[in-house]
Amino acid sequence: MLAITDGATFEDSAFHLTERGSILEAWRFICAHKIYVKFDSFTVNNSTGRRHW
């Protein structure tokens, strides 16, 4: 099960999602279609996270 916190955002080259339901649907789509993502760096702290892919 995916856990998305209040105030979360999802952004890539095509989308900037700010609603929890939209973010969950995007990740469900990605997981259901065996899409693979390669990333080269990420940073996290107690309140934010960033990645570069």
The first and second tokens of residue 3, run together, are: 């856990």
Q: Is residue 42 part of a domain?
A: yes
Q: Position of tokens 């990605």?
A: 30
pLDDT of residue 7: 85
* pLDDT tens profile 1-53: 667 888 888 887 788 999 988 988 888 888 898 777 777 777 888 888 777 66
Q: Is residue 2 part of a domain?
A: no
Q: Is residue 5 part of a domain?
A: no
Give me the domain span that covers residue 21: 10-52
Q: Is residue 4 part of a domain?
A: no
pLDDT of residue 17: 92
Nearest to 37 by CA among 3, 9, 13, 5: 13
d(CA 23, CA 53): 18
pLDDT of residue 47: 81
Task: Give Rg (Cα) of the chain.
Answer: 12
